[in-house]
Each structure stands twice: as C-alpha cells, then as structure tokens.
Structure 1
Amino acid sequence: MKVALALLAVGVVVAVFFRAAILTPVAFRPVDLSGKTIVMAGGTSGIGLEAARRFASWNATVVIGSRSRAKGERVSADLLSTLPPESTGSVNMLDLDLASFASVKEFATTVRAAYKNIDVLALNAGMHGKEHVVLTRDGNEETYQTNFLSHYLLTSLLLPVLRSTPGARIVHTSSAMHYLGSLDHSVHDAHTRNADSATARCGIKSYCDTKLMNVVYSNWLDRTEPDVSSVATHPGLVSTDLDRNQPALVAAAMRAIRRATSRPASDGAVTLVTAATLEDPAWARGSRNGRGVYLEDQCIMNECVERCSLCYHVEADPGGGMRPHAISDDVEEQEWLVQQAKEIVAEFL
C-alpha cells in the first residue's frame, strides 16, 4: 500500500510539473474567414468541435459530418449559441458514417451540390480500434476504414471542388503515435483489408498504422495535387474521448491520465485551426517541392521547435514543422497505399 501511494504521489507531481512546464498557454490567431467554406469529418466532439467553433466564430461556413443526426443537431445548436454577436458564420450538419462507403459518397454528393467552393477539408475523425477484429458493412477492419479508407474516398470525391477553389487546403489529423505505425503490405492490401483475424493488426496497432497512413496520404496529395495544399498534424496531448472503444477499465484509466496530463480540447484545437487558416504559409506555396508538412503540437512554421523536439524527440524540418516517419516520403510506399485504397473503394468513386 505504501509503495502504491508513493507511486501515486510521484505520478501527481509529474503530472503537475508536465502541465506547468510543457503544456504552455496557447493562442489562436484570428483570421476573417468570411466567404470561406470548411468541410469537416469529425467535428462533433473533442478538438474537431472546438475547431468548428473557432471557424464559425471567424465567419466561415462550416459543414460537419455527423454519424448521429440527434447529436449533430445538439452540437449545431450549441455551436450557434456560442457564436459572438458580430459573427456571420454558419454551421450545417450532414449525415456521415465513416464506417459506410455509401454514407461517405452520399455526404460528398450533397456537399458538391450545395457548395461551389471548399476552402478547407479537415479530416479530423478518428477512433482507437478494439482488441479484436470488427468489420464494417464494406468488409474492412473498422479502424482501417474509419481512420483512413473513408478519408481517402471523401477526399477523392471532393477533389474536383478543392482543385477549383484557389488556395484550397486539406488538413489531416494524425498523431505522434504514427511513428510506431507500419504499412504491412500483406495485411493492408486490397485483398486482406486488415480483416483476417489471424493476421489483423487491432487496437493500438491499427490506430498507429492508420495515423501513419494519414501522413503518407497527405504527402502523396501534396506531391500529386499542384493546386491543393495538404498538411498532416498532431494536436499534442489532449483530453478527449478517443479511448471510448477500449475495455471499460482501460478507457477509464486513460481518461484520468488525459485529464491529469493533457490540454483541454479547446486548447488542443490550435494546431488544426492554425494549419487550416494560417495566411500564406510557406508550405502552402509549395516551397517544399512536393513534400507534405507534418505539424506537431502547435509547431507551426518552426515556431516552438526547441520545445517540441524536447517533448517528442523528433527532428525539426527546415521546410516547416517536424520530420514525420521516414516512410511518409517514400514515393513507392505512397503509391502502394493509394493504389490499395483506390481498389477497395472503386465502386464508390
């Protein structure tokens, strides 16, 4: 008992120090988004919700995909009630279930019919997978589809509008956990789809893999789409409900840890918001010669690089942001991943 109490005391001290020394105050950079349309996958909770609140308060038209219509209506009412009186922003909730390719296509079709321009596509939705294989109605492992395949499909369907919108950007919410991910060709190909219970990578492994895929795909887009900028971000340690699919005790423990050591979602949204709205950043002008940028925990354009390098033990990138997993710049791996996704979603393109 004494040992347990001592460890608990040490943990509390470390958590307090961490919050005070590392989780420094954050600051948003207000931008007038009048006339801008921002489409979000993952905007009804956590950092997505707080990012949507900022976008709308800065006069943007915000379109959010929501799996639950009832929750979407509640969130929409909440967002609209908190807008400053002078804001001209608006919020439009549409049905979107990333575990269904048909739902993704319906969402994209509705967006294309309603909006002539898309200035930002924020691919923020994500989940921690369960410790066993759960298949979607499309026959893919759930995390693989929700965190990557459906993002690929949605982006592909909206690219014509993005290409025709001057200065359009795509922002992918990845994670520092992507450094622990892998692209296993035998597991994630168009035939296996991470769905074979004998070989599937589940739970945290699938989460890390799909977050790596987000960065790889972002870099592929930045290399192949000259008229659209693509950037991947890690929001830092943020208190959210990301662990809701874990076993009850694990989820409860993770929530407690996140509350003790992490920023609130309102602060955690700063990287996504800044990546989406930073005016005329160098990476949006193509200064990195087709290599996509990865921004970690507010490290925008090499600001606060020293602190981030200390915190995450990763190398600053001279072109802006941090250096992601080395595989993300491998053109062959980029092409392989995109080809598998294209084959899997082919009938919905």
Structure 2
Amino acid sequence: MADQPSTDADLNSVPYTAPLSFKEPSAKWIHSQNHKGTKRTHATVPAADLRGKWVIISGSNNGIGREAAVQMAAWGANLILACREPPLKETHPSLVVTECRAAARVAGHEKAQVEWWELDCASLASVEAFCARWLETGRALDILCNNAGIGSSPGGRTVFRTKDGFEIIHQVNFLSHVLLTLRLLPSLAAAPTPRIVCTTSCFHYLGKFALADFNGELGLAGDSGVQYYQNNKLYFQIWLAELQRRLLATPQYRHITVNGVHPGYVNTGIWNLNQSGWLTSIKIVIVKVAAWLLGITPQQGSLAILHGAVSVEAGPDPEVQEN
C-alpha cells in the first residue's frame, strides 16, 4: 500500500541515527581537489528546458550565482534573484535582472519573468520577510539555489557578530540558508521534481566540527574568518546530507532532491578577504594572484550549480523518491 500523505511537516520528528565518522584527508589532497580546473578548462552542461519553472538563487548578483542565473534565464526559467542591497563596489542586482532578461529574449523566452527581491543573509528578519513574500504568491518552487556567501569578516575582525548575535560568516553562509530552506519547504513540496542546490566547498575538509562552540564564542572552532568559512562549509555539508535523509523519510517531502556542489577554484570576489595583520595581508595577495592565474572563470564555476539543478545524474533517485 502506498504511503499516505503525512500531516506532520516537522522534520524534527525523524530521529537522527547516523554517526559522524570520516577519515580526514591530507591538505595536499584537498588542494589538489580545489585546483582540478584551470583557466584552460571549458566544460559544459547539457541544455535544459526550464520554461514555466520558478527558481530562486541567493547571491546571484556576482560570481557563479550571476552566471547560473543568466544561463537559467536563457533556458526559460522564471527567476528570483535573492540578493542584498550591495555596496557600491559590487554589481547591483538590477543590472543582473536586465542581463537575464536579455538572455531570455535572445533565446526566445520573452514571457520569462526575472525579478530582484531583497535578501540580506546577515539578517534573519530579512530572510523571514523574503520567505513570507514568496509564500504569499502561492507559487510552487522548482529550484532553490543556496549560493550566497562571504569569505571573511567585515574590516578584518576576528569575530564580527550580526544583530542576531551570530558570527557573520556562519550566519550568512549557513544559518540563513537553513532558515530559508526550511521556510520554503512547503513551496518546494508543491513542485513535481523540486531540487535544492547548496554551494559548498572541498574546504569543508579543513573545517572544525565543534558543536560546543557552534557560534565561535569559546575559541574552539578557530580564530579567523577563513577558519569560520571552512567550518560553516563543513556544517553545511553535514546538514544537507541529513536534510535529504529526513526528507526521504517524510512522505510529502520525499520527492525533493538536495545536492551539495563544489564549484572549484573560481576567480571571484570570494577571495577578496578582509583580514588584519601584515603577514595575513601577504597571504591574501598570494591567494588572489593564484586565483587570477589558476582559477576557473565564474561561468565555468557556475556549471556546478547548473549540474546540481538540472542534470539527470543529480536528479531524483527513482528507487527511493516518488514523483
């Protein structure tokens, strides 16, 4: 007999049983994974038909999020660019809206809708407001791309806390996307084959799993923005795997697919690190030069998001997921 739809939307009712156990790889292996692509790399993702589908991409005014948005627009998707009001040095989301609309028109998708909705991941109130606005539309959400992120604290501070009291890198890269995803689950569940794509990193292998210091108050989880970045990528990877397990165990969410993608060593603004100290400043210059010399382009990095969002290989498993 087929499973009956559950009336309990609380995923916390699914018990956690899996142990946390993995062999920590060497730093050499991690960096080899990060540098697999080069400036000469040119991969592709097969074209997809996204006409009539709704896609939300956080952090889509720059870098790989922007490139993914433009490509999805060319495939006919209806897009919500979920971005904050950026500082002057960054591309304004309204310009990316224009770029996406142009890509859609060139591809013959004049009816595709592209909008910018403000989402500041440094504010949980902003995340709540964004989700409430979306849910009021009553639309089914086909693809959610949790992509926004920062690589260091503002002003090079060791710890910078948001108004919500959380370390800012941890909140922007991880906590806000957890909230965003959980709030939007009912909308995702209303789509026939929904997907959640989370931008992670192979640097999660360098993260410190210290639940006793989840918010970086005891110094157990590192003492720099770069370490916090690695930590929250580890938390993100663990969370998305556990989220998929719980979704599979909950009938009304079983058809949702969750993917974590590592885009590679991409030459984007994520390497514009703000750290104090002359020695650290030298390291940052080296990292930025290396990104320019060796890093792949944002367009190539965006293929990881696109693959997770549309490819058959990264889609639902017919043996365990129901349409």
**1:246-288: CA deviation from partner (whole Å, max 9, x where unpaired):** 2465444322211100111011111110110114x3751265x
**RMSD value, Cα:** 2.3
Mapping for residues 18-29 of structure 1, pairs under 5 Å: 19=38, 24-29=41-46
Counterpart residue identity of residue 285, structure 1 = D
Within the candidate set 44, 54, 66, 1:49 is matched to 66
TM-score with structure 2 setting the length: 0.76
Within the candidate set 195, 199, 211, 1:185 is matched to 211
Mapping for residues 93-108 of structure 1, pairs under 5 Å: 93-108=116-131
Paired residues of 1:119 and 1:167 also in contact (CA < 8 A): yes
Paired residues of 2:151 and 2:271 also in contact (CA < 8 A): yes
Within the candidate set 251, 255, 272, 2:288 is matched to 255
Answering whether residue 143 of structure 2 is matched by residue 126 of structure 1, we say no
% same residue = 27
Unaligned runs of 5+ in 1: 1-16, 291-349
Answering whether residue 272 of structure 2 is matched by residue 244 of structure 1, we say yes
Give the distance between the partners of 1:205 and 1:73, measured in 2 at CA: 33
CA displacement at 1:18 relative to structure 2: 7.5
CA displacement at 1:90 relative to structure 2: 2.7
* 1:222 corresponding residue in structure 2: 244
Give the distance between the partners of 2:103 and 2:77, measured in 1 at CA: 14
Q: 1:104 to 1:286 in 2, by over 3 A?
A: farther
Paired residues of 1:97 and 1:104 also in contact (CA < 8 A): yes
CA displacement at 1:207 relative to structure 2: 0.7
How many residues are paired up? Answer: 266
Give the distance between the partners of 1:126 and 1:104, measured in 2 at CA: 14
Q: Secondary structure at the match of 1:257?
A: helix
* 1:77 corresponding residue in structure 2: 98
Q: 1:58 to 1:199 in 2, by over 3 A?
A: closer
Mapping for residues 256-335 of structure 1, pairs under 5 Å: 256-279=289-312, 281=313, 284-285=316-317, 287=319
Q: 1:211 to 1:18 in 2, by over 3 A?
A: closer
Paired residues of 1:43 and 1:66 also in contact (CA < 8 A): yes
Q: Secondary structure at the match of 1:171?
A: strand
Give the distance between the partners of 1:163 and 1:37, measured in 2 at CA: 13
Q: Secondary structure at the match of 2:38?
A: helix
Answering whether residue 94 of structure 2 is matched by residue 61 of structure 1, we say no
Give the distance between the partners of 1:236 and 1:221, measured in 2 at CA: 23
Give the distance between the partners of 2:159 and 2:173, measured in 1 at CA: 15
Unaligned runs of 5+ in 2: 1-35, 248-253, 276-280
TM-score with structure 1 setting the length: 0.71
* 2:108 corresponding residue in structure 1: 86
Q: 1:258 to 1:164 in 2, by over 3 A?
A: same
* 2:17 corresponding residue in structure 1: none
Deviates more, 1:260-269 or 1:246-255: 246-255
CA displacement at 1:197 relative to structure 2: 6.3
Paired residues of 2:60 and 2:83 also in contact (CA < 8 A): yes
Q: 1:235 to 1:198 in 2, by over 3 A?
A: closer
**Whose RCO is larger (CA < 8 A, sep 6+)?**
2
